[in-house]
Amino acid sequence: MSNTAFRGVLASNIMASIALGTSRFVFVWLVGELTEWNPATAILGIIIGLPPLLLSAWAGSLADRISARTLGVSLFSASTALFAVSAVLLHAGLMTVPVAMICAFFTAIAPAMLMPLLQALVPRVVDESVLLQAVALQNLGMTGSTIGGIFLGGAVIQAFGLEAGLWLLTAASLCGVLLHRRTLIPEHVTVTARKGAIRSAAKIALRTEPLRSLLALTTVLGVVITASTLLLPEIARDVLGTRSLAASVLNVAMSLGMITTSMIVATRWQPARRGRALALAAGSAMGTGLVALGLSRVYLFTLLICLCWGLTGGIAMTMLRTLMQTHTPPELMGRVMGLASTAQNGAFPVAAAILFALVSATSVPTAMVVIGVLCSIGVWSIVFRRTIRDL
């Protein structure tokens, strides 16, 4: 934290995480208020997930080629304008389900492109000897701001309405503009080739272990995040019978767990076998947490599940990204982080389409259980291989 450049990147990451995580909650809640047709939430998930799927790799390539300050300020400025337009449309009474879907799509573009940029900057501004701690602190900031922003969004929505939630996102993006502009980011060796740069990085990553397995695990993580983002608010409202504030508290409990373990990793605990720590944390909770959430019918029990899920998630996410950055060549860092963002956030529309089919055929809790079982199988098939365990 004594590193000025790292503090600036961390602050920018917090604002981008608020924009990404809180906007999803706001738009999911908005669509839920506009229609009682449950599959509409899954359709929204597909739409929100398209920008990360289509643009994350490109954003990572841009991070390897152009000024990080110019790119970051431009994206934060676009995010500010788009959230403000959405708030104005809601205030004018023009917000319908199709308009909400369009606004959700365009407001997701800038935050999706910011994530690979800000993640790629961490190994550029800190020494490798403290990379684990830096990643843990960045995860702490991302998780705390994403989930804390959801809580704040839920509280603001309940107190002042959905329009205030959109203005909250506008203010967070504007803060991002100011913070990122002031951050002193060191120059790096840029990639001169444009054509084929993403393809060449993808070939290297997908043909090289452990990057291939780590990217596969990141994809499963994206499915898990999609299911909790889209279905947890529906379960909280329709199964547990809560309002927006109580629903957002579930995310706060998850955040507290992640913050706790991220802080422990950042300050006190350095596992000798990071791969084994990743395998144990991800294998024990990543998919099984979804199953437990789908089966629970008691709010306090669901709250406890979210807390425990967050405790293991903080370890898994910190180890996953640290291992990925440790095994990535510096000249490919932006593009590989772009691929990781594509794998995680790009899984959103694919998982949302699967959830749409499951919710339409069964129910929201059943869909959560089924997707949890599938994620558990996927995680176990990856993390307990020697490729991961021996890292």
pLDDT tens digits, 245-270: 788 788 778 878 887 887 787 777 77
Given a contact cutoff of 8 angstroms between Cβ atoms, the answer to whether 260 and 348 are in contact is no
The three-state DSSP-derived secondary structure of the chain is CCCHHHHHHHHHHHHHHHHHHHHHHHHHHHHHHHCCCCHHHHHHHHHHHHHHHHHHHHHHHHHHHCCHHHHHHHHHHHHHHHHHHHHHHHHCCCCCHHHHHHHHHHHCHHHHHHHHHHHHHHHHHCCHHHHHHHHHHHHHHHHHHHHHHHHHHHHHHHHHCHHHHHHHHHHHHHHHHHHHHHCCCCCCCCCCCCCCHHHHHHHHHHHCCCHHHHHHHHHHHHHHHHHHHHHHHHHHHHHCCCCHHHHHHHHHHHHHHHHHHHHHHHHCCCCCCHHHHHHHHHHHHCCHHHHHHHHCCCHHHHHHHHHHHHHHHHHHHHHHHHHHHHCCCHHHHHHHHHHHHHHHHCHHHHHHHHHHHHHHHCCHHHHHHHHHHHHHHHHHHHHCCHHHHCC
Sequence-distant (6+) residues with CB within 8 A of 373 are 287, 291
Amino acid 149 reads G
Q: Is the per-residue pLDDT at 354 higher than 80?
A: yes
How is the chain split into domains, by residue range? 4-178+197-389
Confidence of residue 192 (pLDDT cuts 50, 70, 90): very low
Lowest-confidence region among 104-108, 165-169, 227-231, 368-372: 227-231
Whether cis (ω within 30° of 0) applies to the bond prior to 329 is no
Q: How far apart are CA 391 and CA 389, in angstroms?
A: 6
Per-residue pLDDT averaged across 362-388, rounded? 90
Q: Over 70: is that where the pLDDT of 98 sits?
A: yes
Residue that is written with structure tokens 């289509």 in the block: 54
- The tokens for 180 are 């990122």
pTM of the full structure: 0.71
Confidence class for position 183, pLDDT limits 50, 70, 90: confident
Q: What is the mean pLDDT of residues 119-134?
A: 81
Q: For position 127, what pLDDT does the model report? A: 83
CATH 1.20.1250.20 fits 4-178+197-389, yes or no: yes
Whether the predicted pLDDT of 234 surpasses 80:
yes
| Nearest residue to 201 via CA among 342, 352, 98, 313 | 342
Comparing CA positions, the residue from 84, 136, 138 lying closest to residue 110 is 84
Nearest one of 269, 260, 378, 251 to 322, comparing CA atoms: 269
